[in-house]
Amino acid sequence: MAAQCIACGMPMEKDEDFALNDRSKSYCRYCARPDGTMQNYDEKLAGMTGFIVRTQGVTEAAAREAARTMMAGLPAWASKK
């Protein structure tokens, strides 16, 4: 059964999709810090904002708003509103 990253929603199918290639992790390698722990809300928001700016060519403010909306629907950030 495919897992889904709790922090960004990415489907995780292969071992290398998981943080540290560890299938017991509930988040993906893009949401992990180099030491394997999960990024916090601000780190992930900054990362997603940068990604959206680069891929969609929108302003930083618009990208941040889009990232916030995306993250609001994910289990890792359910307590953040």
What residues line the site for Zn ion (CB under 5 A)?
5, 7-8, 10, 28, 30-31
Closest distance to Zn ion from the beta carbon of 57 (Å): 23
Quickly list H helices, 1-81.
41-56, 60-72
Residues paired with 60 in a beta bridge: none
Q: Is 36 helix (H, G, I), strand (E, B) or coil?
A: coil
Q: Which is nearer to Zn ion, 30 or 51 (CB)?
A: 30
Q: Which is nearer to Zn ion, 30 or 41 (CB)?
A: 30
Q: Which is nearer to Zn ion, 61 or 78 (CB)?
A: 78
